[in-house]
Amino acid sequence: MSLPKFIAIVGREGSGKDSYGDYLATKGYMHVSAGDVLRERARESGFTDPIPRTVLSQIGDEMKKEFGPSPITESTIFRYEELKDKYPGGLVISGLRRTGEIEAFKTHDAVVLWIDADDERRYANENLRARGDEQSIEDFIERGKEEYFGSTDGGKDGVNLRQVELLSDYKICNDGSLEDLFEKADKAIG
């Protein structure tokens, strides 16, 4: 099975995006997590871990205003081009949450894979990582609705996962083991 050279993995919080990206890294891909890019920039601005998702969204809005609609995509592709000899598989970016980022990545013949999971699985996954806000499952679900239907900056390229899902080429559900997730994802995009 031959996988595409450029892959974006998108989906709701805790769905398994980074897990699949890490798996692809073992196959020779350069894996960049959009959330990690935002966390690093937040740290450079003086925030300390754990950095709340609201701050990450604000950082993303600021980057978009400063660098245009696809700062994570463009900077990651630039870095990949400098290092591509080290990554024979290609480039995978996980966690893009804005349509401008997806549209820019697709101009590089990228495929976009949407991974989803039920609320309980996603909540459990997020609590295992403990990278952000501590919250109840009810608050987690409510924030998820805001990210799915809303827009952080009121504009076209704010966080709006519903629009990102619509731009996806393939969709799978993470409803089994990690091995099941990897097999489903490989089959979907391969």
pLDDT score, position 15: 97
| 162: Cα within 13 Å, side-chain hemisphere | 9
Amino acid at 149: F
Look at residues 119, 114, 166 and name the one whose alpha carbon lies nearest to residue 145.
119
98 and 159 Cβ atoms separated by less than 8 Å: yes
Look at residues 95, 78, 76 and name the one whose alpha carbon lies nearest to residue 21.
95
pLDDT score, position 129: 78
64 and 98 Cβ atoms separated by less than 8 Å: yes
Three-state SS for 9?
Answer: strand
Per-residue pLDDT of the chain (190 residues; tens, 9 = 90+): 799 999 999 999 999 999 999 999 999 999 999 999 999 999 999 999 889 888 998 999 999 999 999 999 999 999 999 999 999 999 999 999 999 999 999 999 999 999 999 999 999 998 887 665 668 999 999 989 988 987 655 556 678 899 999 999 999 999 999 999 999 999 999 9
Domain boundaries, the chain: 6-189
93 and 76 Cβ atoms separated by less than 8 Å: yes
pLDDT score, position 159: 84
pLDDT score, position 143: 87
6-189 is classed CATH 3.40.50.620: no
pLDDT score, position 135: 82
pLDDT score, position 155: 55
Three-state SS for 35?
Answer: helix
Three-state SS for 11?
Answer: strand
pLDDT score, position 170: 98
